[in-house]
Amino acid sequence: MRDEFDAVIVGSGPNGLTAAAVLARAGRRVLVLEAAGTIGGGTRTDEALGTGIRRDVCSAVHPTGFASPAFAELELADHGLRWLVPDVSLGHVGAGEVVAIHRENADTAIELGSDAHRWESIVGYADDPHALAAQVLEMPDLPRHPVAMSRFAAAAVLPVDTLTRAFGGHRAAMAFAGIAAHAERPLSAPGSSAAGMLLGGLTVSGWPIAEGGSRAITDALAAIVVDHGGTIEMDCPVTELGQLPTDCDLFFDTSPEMILRLFGDRLPRRYARALRRFEYGGGACKVDFVLSEPIPWAVRPDVLARTATFHLADDVAQIRRTERDVAAGRVPERPWVLGGEPTRIDPTRAPEGTHLAWTYCHVPAGCEVDVSASIIAELERRAPGFSDTVVDSMVTTAADMQRHNANYVGGDINCGTSSLRQLVARPVLSPNPQVTGIPGVYLCSSATAPGGGVHGMSGYRAARAALRSRPGPR
Ligand SMILES: Cc1cc2nc3c(=O)[nH]c(=O)nc-3n(C[C@H](O)[C@H](O)[C@H](O)COP(=O)(O)OP(=O)(O)OC[C@H]3O[C@@H](n4cnc5c(N)ncnc54)[C@H](O)[C@@H]3O)c2cc1C
């Protein structure tokens, strides 16, 4: 029965579904096989703890999805996706102060004072950051604006510690360090500024959430697949090649380990070596809170009510210590924390009188430790009385992450670290990093360029490569 298909996609994360949608629209007969009982991978929304509140299981905020050329081409809005774009992209909550990074550069300038000009020239790196970010997501294609791209790359390869020294004041430095540290790299590491440059630039176009939850992205992609005759099957973990047809293209929205396990000696030697050398990063421990009222921020609650994303760190040093500890395999004593209160921006997600906050912090790979006490302590420091608002909570340790999704090796939410080497060669240095060297077999997960985040670009590139190499349906 499976021989009826032109393409089989293993895994239904945003990359797998984007590949499936592009192929289905091009007339290919596609089958998506998903191991889990729900589709979406890192882009799922469930109902938190039976409360009727919609909880994003993994990804929550979507600057890269908003800027994604693949999502734009697929016109996800026509399939029900609605972005809600707060005017405050990010609130960095320090010790007794808040730095708000706005979509409007003029408003951010007021926050950053004497560093405003430097922030705009380094982080707000172009007249049109949205267009430049789209190019970064299209890497390794040749840039359309080489001068702007060269400026971007020159800063991106630097350690965060170097770029933060360029700021005279600590407010700009800690805001930048928090954005860059999404990549979970030591701040002294070359290339650790890359995420700061990409996501920092995108604060201008917006850090949106999807109305109703991140699942709306999955639903829109799946609708395109199904509308074009594709088939999606759940509870279908692929563990051996015998489960797949032989005479069709195969796309793996999986970890590189999966490719090595399935194809082993059939892979070209150079490619297999690259996959064996592929490095995963540290893990994340996520804690979701059902709240009786919004977080009672002590400082600037009005501003924090206007964003879907907050970072908690007293200063650059707290971020530096966290990332250094994680890299050394230690659970940070006082981690810096990423979080958001999506129900502030999207009231459709929660019944009246209930709220949800998600948080996570970086921990060593494979860590089984529940860090909720540390996260609550960081929240209490900045929002006294927070604990009294907590109705229920749910912890997902780094080890749980991998149990739920095989791509999150050791709890690495990006399926591969963003070391300087893997910024350039992910997983191989190639104009077509999704091509495995076995004809018709593609690796299309975030283990390939441009890397982690919900943007579908790896799937898009894999599908385009397949359409180029085998034009027209079989
Ligand atoms: C806690 C957390 C928070 C995050 N926050 C954000 C955020 O706010 N914004 C953002 O842009 N990104 C965020 N991310 C990262 C983002 O979710 C991922 O980068 C993105 O989902 C990667 O997409 P993907 O399609 O490559 O893989 P995934 O989304 O991981 O999907 C892979 C799919 O393949 C399936 N699969 C794997 N192996 C097999 C197999 N052998 N057989 C069948 N199916 C298989 C898995 O079950 C899964 O459904 C977050 C991730 C996590 C975990």
> Which of these, 15, 30, 33, lies nearest to 447 by C-alpha position?
15
Ligand 1 atom with the shortest distance to the CA of 64: 11
Hey, whose CA ends up nearest to atom 15 of ligand 1? 453
Q: Which residues line ligand 1 (CB under 6 A)?
A: 10-16, 33-36, 41-43, 58-62, 64, 237-238, 253-254, 258, 284, 286, 360, 401, 405-408, 413-414, 445-446, 452-454
pLDDT of residue 51: 85
Relative to beta strand 231-233, strand 30-33 is: parallel
Higher pLDDT, 85 or 147: 85
pLDDT of residue 418: 96
> Which of these, 437, 380, 434, 470, lies nearest to 19 by C-alpha position?
434
- Let me know if residue 14 belongs to a domain: yes
- Let me know if residue 170 belongs to a domain: no
Contact 107, 417 (CB under 8 A): no
Ligand 1 pocket test: pick from 56, 68, 253 the residue with the most ligand atoms within 8 Å of its Cβ.
253
Hey, whose CA ends up nearest to atom 4 of ligand 1? 59
Centre of ligand 1 to C-alpha 254, Å, is 9
- Let me know if residue 175 belongs to a domain: no
Q: Is the pLDDT of residue 474 over 70?
A: no
Residue ranges making up the domain that contains 461: 2-82+210-278+417-469
Q: What confidence category does residue 130 fall into, taking pLDDT thresholds of 50, 70 and 90? A: confident
Distance CA 377, CA 127 (A): 40
Three-state SS at 307:
coil
Centre of ligand 1 to C-alpha 185, Å, is 19
Sheet harboring 30-33: ordered strands across?
231-233, 30-33, 7-10, 249-252, 441-443
Higher pLDDT, 48 or 218: 218
Contact 256, 278 (CB under 8 A): yes
Rounded average pLDDT over 41-51:
91
Task: State pLDDT tens for residues 317-346.
Answer: 999 999 999 999 999 999 999 999 999 999
> Which of these, 1, 7, 10, lies nearest to 263 by C-alpha position?
10
- Let me know if residue 69 belongs to a domain: yes
Task: State pLDDT tens for residues 454-467.
Answer: 999 999 999 999 99
Centre of ligand 1 to C-alpha 292, Å, is 30
Ligand 1 atom with the shortest distance to the CA of 408: 30
| 321 CB-near residues (< 8 Å, 6+ apart) | 332, 334
- Let me know if residue 196 belongs to a domain: no
- The count of structural domains within the chain is 1
- Let me know if residue 372 belongs to a domain: no
Distance CA 92, CA 359 (A): 14
Residue 6's CATH number: 3.50.50.60
Hey, whose CA ends up nearest to atom 16 of ligand 1? 453
- Let me know if residue 33 belongs to a domain: yes
Hey, whose CA ends up nearest to atom 7 of ligand 1? 59
How high does pLDDT run on average in the chain?
A: 95
Ligand 1 atom with the shortest distance to the CA of 33: 43
pLDDT of residue 1: 52
One-character DSSP codes across 125-137: -SS-HHHHHHHHH
Rounded average pLDDT over 285-303:
97
Hey, whose CA ends up nearest to atom 49 of ligand 1? 41
Q: Is the pLDDT of residue 49 over 80?
A: no
Distance CA 207, CA 59 (A): 12
Centre of ligand 1 to C-alpha 13, Å, is 5
- Let me know if residue 299 belongs to a domain: no
Hey, whose CA ends up nearest to atom 21 of ligand 1? 42
Task: State pLDDT tens for residues 411-449.
Answer: 999 999 999 999 999 999 999 999 999 999 999 999 999
Hey, whose CA ends up nearest to atom 35 of ligand 1? 11
**What burial class does residue 439 get, using C-beta atoms within 10 Å of its C-beta: 0-12 exposed, 13-18 middle, 19+ buried?**
exposed
Task: State pLDDT tens for residues 353-406.
Answer: 999 999 999 999 999 999 999 999 999 999 999 999 999 999 999 999 999 999
Task: State pLDDT tens for residues 133-178.
Answer: 898 999 888 888 888 889 899 999 999 999 999 999 999 999 999 9
Q: What confidence category does residue 298 fall into, taking pLDDT thresholds of 50, 70 and 90? A: very high
Ligand 1 atom with the shortest distance to the CA of 340: 8
